[in-house]
Structure 1
Amino acid sequence: MTQQRILVIGTGSIGMRHAGNIEQLGGIAERLSLRELGLEGVLKSIASAKAQGAVIATATQLRQPLIEACAANALPVYVEKPVAYTRQGLADFYNAAAPVADRSIAGFMMRYHPLLRPLQDIVAKDAVFRFDFEIGHDVTQWRANWSFADSYAALPQGGGVLLDLCHELDLAHTLFPNTALKTVESLGHDDFPGVDMATQIALAGPGQTGSVAMDYLAPVFSRVIRLRGQGAIAECDLLTGTITRRLPDAAPEITQVEFDRNAMFLGAMADFMALIDGKEAPSANPNIPRLDRARPSCEMIANAWADRQFCGTIKKDMT
């Protein structure tokens, strides 16, 4: 079988992770830096490359000409989340991606968390009617030698916590596909107008209500899902890989899995490389974020961003 050559557009930390995973899976990663080549240089490289696919790991607001070029050259894409952050931008992206969307991937790698399928089983068997997703971490502590103020996260267009931590909204939609967006309330910062530092989203549908909350502020990193059902209540800690399910008059049931964060990225990339060849995704993951099927989640993220209502500001040194 011919060794796959995949363009990796964007050479930040996530682009370099994808490039390493492509090579670990036996492919060739051809790195393209927007900073070094400029947009025109990258577009020329896409047009002339003898590649079978492309990873788009650039800032969200730079992607439209890239997807147009990739689709025009019949290159399926692995596009990082969020695919787009405005309603029109998302429509434009999907219109351009149509020729390759059924062989492409949206970068919702949390769908490869080993606890997702046990959570889906709990939602079904316990008749879950209430859910809460929470993720938070002090953004100034994310990485050494990294400044929030100088990063993509501080941009009013394409930045903010809702877009940065939108995996949780995708997970909520995956587990509760019949719920819809109701309200989006955000806290901002006087030094960064239009950038949400903490956001809470209300969702509701037939027989189910819930919330998704994310923030740049929590002093301890937390990532928790709480489910309340007619049969049991459950709490999932995605960081420790633990689900605790509590039933009436019985000892708690505890599910514990071992997992590596990069294994989720590897699973998504392996599926993408199989899709490039028109093969069945090797992970057999029923939640594979194939681009054409991931549009409802992408639309929920774009709609939530557009519907943010800023109800106050927080005080924090964000340098």
Structure 2
Amino acid sequence: MRVLVIGAGSIGQRHHDNLAALGAIPRLLSWRAGGLVAAEAAMDQADAVVVATATDIRLPLIAAAAARDLPFYVEKPLAFRPDEVEAIAEAAAPVATRSMLGYMMRYHPAVQALAADGLDDVFQFALTIGHDVTQWRQNWRFSESYAARAEGGGVLLDLCHELDIALTLFPGLEILSVESLGHPAFPGVDFASRISLRRGGLVGDVSMDYLTPGLHRRAHLRGSERMQDFDLAAQVYRVTEPGGTRQLDLPLERNAMFLAAMRDFLALAFGGKVSDNPLLPRLNLCLPSARLVARAWAARRFIGEIAKEIP
């Protein structure tokens, strides 16, 4: 199982190490080492591909992999322009049922618990995530990262798992509005965004930011039969029903999600048995989420700027 990992940043390194732990033979290739020419040459010596590059160079890599009948695992977001999502969907069609999109939150036990809980009574929801981007990693500068680019950067794309979670829980959501805050030093880059969504009588918001001093990740669902208040950062999950409140025990080790996703990718790519995860992020099943993310990015309306210094 020779797997080429293109992109030698932190996420590419994580995938490389997890593939090795799962018994594959990974090769880590930096995009900067030779670009598309080097990547295509390396693909000729691989049986599958992991694409962990910046978003704006995904299409040619995916097209090259699909042309060689190589299944691939591509990091989220798939693309930031709606037309590019469709171009990728067309190029990837021959291998789409053997490929995956990196929505690893679909392996989170809390997300799976919500998806299995029958949400027909929910009339309102809010999903939030954020953390001070200057505190993410040691020896890392936002201004030097992919996230600082007007084309393919910004918080909406960076933290788009919550949009995927929303659509996974509530298929058919439509975008009402997207309000964003920018920064004078980074034109076109959103540092906080709120996406308002609707499906029939259901309304909800997905909010993400690069600003809050501590990591927060929460899901609040309001229904006529129950309320679910999930704090995914603190791993505290409360369900309030007419008979009272109960707390769910859903322990998580973060890398376990990445390992589970990569294990399923290897199974898809090499004809093995995938897990029983009903939210399996197979590429052809994830295209609605990819389209929602791209439409939200295109619909951003900047309503103000932040003053925080961002190095």
> Does 1:293 pair with 2:285?
yes
* Superposed displacement of residue 193, structure 1: 0.5
- Does the 8 Å CA contact 2:193/2:209 hold for their aligned counterparts? yes
Match of 2:141 in 1: 147
Contact 2:164 2:289 in 1 (8 A): yes
SS in 1 for 2:294: helix
1:83 maps to what in 2? 78
Q: Tell me the distance in 2 between the aligned counterparts of 1:309 and 1:54.
A: 36
**TM-score with structure 2 setting the length:** 0.97
Separation (CA, whole Å) in 2 of partners of 1:124 and 1:203: 16
Whole-angstrom CA distance in 1 between matches of 2:194 and 2:88: 27
Displacement after TM superposition at 1:178 (Å)? 2.5
Match of 1:112 among 103, 107, 111: 107
Counterparts of 1:82 and 1:266 in 2: how far apart (Å)?
A: 19
TM-score normalized with structure 1 length: 0.95
- Separation of aligned partners in 2, 1:61 and 1:147: 20
Match of 2:34 in 1: 37
Q: Which residue of 2 aligns with 1:251?
A: 244
Q: Over residues 154-208 of structure 1, what are the superposed CA-to-partner deviations in whole Å (9 max), with x where a residue is unaligned? A: 1000000000000000001001113211110000011110000000000101221
Query: Partners of 1:209 and 1:121 in 2: how far apart?
Result: 20
Task: Tell me, yes or no, if structure 1 residue 170 matches structure 2 residue 164.
Answer: yes
CA distance in 2, matches of 1:166, 1:185: 15
Q: Which moved more, 1:299-308 or 1:24-33?
A: 24-33
Equivalent in 182, 185, 192 of residue 188 of structure 1: 182
> Where in structure 2 are the equivalents of 1:191-210 lying within 5 Å?
191-210=185-204
Confirm whether residue 263 of structure 1 aligns to residue 256 of structure 2: yes
User: After the TM superposition, which of the residue ranges 35-44 and 109-118 deviates more from structure 2?
Assistant: 35-44
Shift of 1:278: 2.7
User: How far does residue 12 in structure 1 lie from its aligned partner after superposition?
Assistant: 0.5
CA distance in 2, matches of 1:241, 1:120: 17
Q: CA RMSD in A?
A: 1.1
- Describe the SS at the equivalent of 2:309: coil
**Separation in 2, partners of 1:166, 1:256:** 26
Q: Is the 8 A contact 1:123 1:229 kept in 2?
A: no
Q: Distance in 2 between matches of 1:38 and 1:164?
A: 23
Code of the residue aligned with 2:94 in structure 1: it is P
For 2:169 and 2:130, the matched residues in 1 are separated by: 20
Instruction: Determine whether 1:278 maps to 2:274.
Output: no
Distance 1:306 1:62 in 2: 18
Superposition deviation, residue 124 in structure 1: 2.7
Give 1:32 deviation, angstroms: 1.4
SS at match of 2:284: coil
**Matching residue within 3, 6, 9 for 2:3:** 6
Q: Which residue of 2 aligns with 1:52?
A: 47
Q: Deviations over 1:264-298 (max 9, x none)?
A: 011110100000123331x2101001001100000
Q: Secondary structure at the match of 1:143?
A: coil
CA distance in 1, matches of 2:118, 2:209: 25
* Among candidates 234, 240, 246, match of residue 234 of structure 2: 240
- The aligned amino acid for 2:204 is G
Match of 1:317 in 2: 309
Partner SS, residue 234 of structure 2: coil
CA deviation profile, 1:222-244 (whole Å, cap 9, x unmatched): 00000100012120011232210
1:258, distance to aligned residue in structure 2 (A): 1.4
Contact in 2 for aligned 1:137/1:216 (Cα 8 Å): yes
Q: What secondary structure, in the 3-state scheme, does the structure 1 residue paired with 2:109 have?
A: coil
- CA shift at 1:123, angstroms? 4.4
Does residue 218 of structure 1 match 2:222? no
Q: State the one-letter code of the partner of 2:289.
A: S
Unmatched 5+ stretches in structure 2: none
Residue from 58, 66, 72 that aligns with 1:71 = 66
Cα separation, 2, equivalents of 1:105 and 1:280: 15
- State the secondary structure of the residue aligned to 1:97: helix
